[in-house]
Amino acid sequence: MSRTWRVGVAGLGTVGAELVRFLQAQPDFAPGRDRVEVTAVSARDRARPRPCRLEGLAWFDDPVELARSPGIDLFVELIGGAEGAAKAAVLAALDAGKPVCTANKAMIAHHGQALADLAEAKDVPLLFEAAVMGGTPAVKLLREGLLGEDVRTLAGILNGTCNFILSEMERSERSFGEVLSEAQRLGYAEADPTTDVGGFDAGHKIAILAALAFGYAPNLECAEISGIERIELLDIRLARDLGYRIKLIASAQREAGGAVVRVAPALVPLAHPLAQAGGALNALFVEGARVGRLYLQGPGAGAGPTAAAVAADIADVIAGARRPVFQRPANELLPCPPADPGHRSGKVFIRLMVHDRPGVIAAVSEALAKAQVSIDSFLQRPVDETGVVPIVLTTQPASEAAVADAVGHIAELDALVQPPRVLPLARI
């Protein structure tokens, strides 16, 4: 017996409007005889032009009222934001026993445990494929495709805005500020770009992926996050001269007693697939004990890809899919403690701007030697017109504590023009 699923959509921005347009054009897109009908919507501005039909749809100024409405069977939240109307509406829908599909990575990263508890107590799906990597099925891969696998490491590019900025800085030889302005004109970056360029958007996403991969409750507090605001064109040029490309890398690695979850600009070898993912693309490596290394790449944002991911979640609801919100039941999710930083090690890139004086390089080498940090490669650029010399080096693997000790002593050198720039070499 066929059924028509009445869908309510809260949030009619680019993704919400595209989803409504798609469902109106293809109400029978899901396999089987069931159909989908958008019956109600909610947004802040009723008069705004949109590429979908709103005639005949119930309009709700309050998304919470839409979520509770007896006129819908499934609630789609595309408002965004960890708190406020988005969270209240999702809680209301779950409490009313309605399935929820969302693209809200901030809400899932901050409140995933509580939302999973409620969804599973009410025995209704809470799906969020569109929250990470847009239309590229990273969530489904970890929650379903790798169920039972011992996933050890995740690493990738999870923010298209930052990837576009870094790629365009290298391609066009322009500064961060110039390329950021272009990204804002093109719609890749918001008027306030802090969430993207500060690394927080990627932080939300890697917190979700780590929870799915390792059986943890999402815990943004255990993530170490830094953005790309301080990356200069000189860093990009010097990294390229050494055979690397700078990317904002989001990573999660399971370690004894916890996990290292981190977002930071890092150096990737030029020949590596992550270095080849340019523009606004997203990409992800997953390493498991039995499956080895898997690689996903695709559009991480945009109306079409993100709406497609939401539609796929709707199809799962219609098909009667029942599984935990994360990879294991909510009451079995473990806390996600940060791993002991004393055990962490890796290679780093150190860029120095120094006055052209005798003995500077010897002093830098001495500081590194005292901290037991060995140099792997070294590059000195010509002296500029002000008498300043750019020096860049990469290290052999060393503990983070030893690198911090060495950099602290280097920072005290009189010849230094600005604080040292330290970037990790990506562990991929």
Q: Which residues are catalytic?
A: 205
Angle, CA of 171, 272 and 232, to the nearest 5° = 40
Q: How far is CA 271 from CA 79, 243, 277, 381, in A?
A: 39, 9, 11, 24
Give me the phi and psi of 286, to 5 degrees please: -125, 130
Task: Please identify which residue in the block is written with the tokens 């939240």.
Answer: 77
Residue whose C-alpha is closest to residue 176's, from 226, 228, 227: 228
Q: Rounded to whole angstroms, how far apart are CA atoms 389 and 179?
A: 26
Identify residue 145 by its one-letter amino acid code: G
Contact between 15 and 103 under an 8 Å Cβ cutoff? The reply is yes
Contact between 428 and 401 under an 8 Å Cβ cutoff? The reply is no
Residue 76: in which H helix or E strand, if any? strand 74-77
Strands (E), 276-420: 281-288, 292-299, 345-346, 348-355, 375-380, 388-395, 398-399
Q: Rounded to whole angstroms, how far apart are CA atoms 409 and 413?
A: 7
Give me the phi and psi of 37, to 5 degrees please: -135, 120
Strand partners, 378: 393
Token representation of residue 307: 């709406």
Per residue in 352-379, is it b (16+ CB within 10 Å) or e — as a string? bbbeeeeebbebbeebbeebebeebeee
- Within 10 angstroms of residue 342's Cβ, the number of other Cβ atoms is 9
Q: Rounded to whole angstroms, how far apart are CA atoms 298 and 135?
A: 7
Token representation of residue 109: 């990263």
Residue partners of 306: CB distance under 8 A and separation at least 6: 15, 18, 103, 130, 134, 135
Reported as half-sphere exposure (CB side, CA atoms, 13 A), residue 293 has a value of 7
Strand partners, 293: 287
Task: Please identify which residue in the block is written with the tokens 């399971």.
Answer: 254
Residue 315: in which H helix or E strand, if any? helix 303-318
